[in-house]
């Protein structure tokens, strides 16, 4: 991990801890506002948590605060297909190490179509392997972008990338990220995927139902434990879920 990138070292909350309304009333945002800051290690930081825990809200706000377009892309992308309110981004500041990343990208599985359209509109397909992302499947285009656009000395934020990927696709993304981390790259990723979480040396931050943020080991991460229990006895889970009682 000695070559892992460490461009962003800390996120700091700027404001009182009891701001009203969304997203400030999310427990995880209250936690950040109360503690005042959260540090990032070199290499890869994962955020995990159940649906509604606020991990994607936090990661998306980090991206906007870092200067990315809210719908994804590099920092030069300025398109918008819908009005979005990222009030949290206005309340957080990032602490950067000296030396800027040479490459950067914010990738959201849910808005990849919009990013692909903007790439073609700007006429910059050459920077993406000269192959339209619209002419590939969702998963293929996602991996193509990671392979063609993610480069050494880069800072990358990913929001639930597994939504676009098969199991094999997740494994391919793990390999790509691991390779880039050895080339001075830093990743901040929100995910539910036990496969992605298995990335060696990654830091896993778990958000619980009360908004507490805790560093956990791979075997203790909730997505890993739940998936293992389900695969061990899927019949028990399905009986409970499908029972009329």
Tell me which of 14-28, 107-121, 191-205 is least confident.
Answer: 107-121
Rounded distance between C-alpha atoms, residue 5 and residue 15, angstroms: 29
What residue segments make up the domains of the chain, in order of their start?
8-220
CA angle 202, 221, 14 (to 5 degrees): 70
- For residues 130-158, give the mean pLDDT: 86
- For residues 90-118, give the mean pLDDT: 87
Whether residue 190 contacts residue 157, with contact meaning beta carbons closer than 8 Å, is answered with no
* Tokens, residue 147: 């392979």
- pLDDT tens profile 180-190: 999 999 999 99
CA angle 224, 146, 139 (to 5 degrees): 65
What is the biggest distance separating any 2 CA atoms in the chain, rounded to whole angstroms?
60
Rounded distance between C-alpha atoms, residue 200 and residue 223, angstroms: 17
Tell me which of 2-6, 50-54, 109-113, 230-234 is least confident.
Answer: 109-113
User: 8-220 maps to which CATH number?
Assistant: 3.40.50
Closest Cα partner for 75 from 49, 46, 105, 42? 105
Mean pLDDT of the chain: 90
Residue that the structure tokens 């892309």 belong to: 73
Paired residues of 225 in beta bridges: none
Tell me, what's the pLDDT at 159?
94
Tell me, what's the pLDDT at 195?
98
State percent of the chain over pLDDT 90: 68
What burial class does residue 99 get, using C-beta atoms within 10 Å of its C-beta: 0-12 exposed, 13-18 middle, 19+ buried? exposed
- pLDDT tens profile 187-221: 999 999 999 999 999 999 999 999 999 999 999 99
């Amino acid at each position: 991990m000695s070559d892992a990138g460490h461009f962003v070292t800390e996120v700091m909350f700027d404001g009182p801890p009891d701001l009203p309304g969304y997203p400030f009333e999310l427990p995880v945002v209250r936690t950040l506002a109360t503690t005042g800051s959260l540090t990032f290690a070199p290499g890869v930081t994962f955020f995990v948590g159940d649906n509604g825990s606020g991990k994607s809200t936090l990661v998306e706000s980090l991206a906007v605060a870092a200067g990315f377009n809210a719908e994804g892309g590099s920092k030069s992308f300025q398109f918008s297909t819908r009005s979005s309110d990222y009030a949290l981004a206005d309340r957080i500041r990032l602490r950067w190490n000296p030396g800027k990343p040479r490459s950067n990208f914010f990738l959201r599985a849910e808005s990849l179509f919009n990013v692909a359209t903007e790439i073609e509109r700007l006429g910059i397909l050459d920077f993406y392997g000269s192959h339209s992302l619209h002419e590939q499947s969702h998963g293929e285009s996602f991996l193509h972008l990671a392979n063609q656009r993610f480069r050494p000395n880069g800072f990358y934020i990913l929001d639930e990338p597994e939504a676009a990927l098969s199991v094999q696709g997740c494994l391919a993304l793990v390999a790509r990220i691991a390779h880039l981390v050895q080339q001075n790259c830093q990743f901040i990723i929100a995910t539910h995927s036990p496969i992605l979480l298995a990335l060696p040396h990654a830091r896993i931050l778990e958000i619980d139902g009360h908004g507490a943020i805790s560093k956990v080991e791979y075997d203790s991460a909730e997505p890993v434990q739940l998936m293992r229990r389900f695969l061990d006895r899927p019949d028990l889970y399905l009986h409970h879920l499908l029972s009329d009682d």
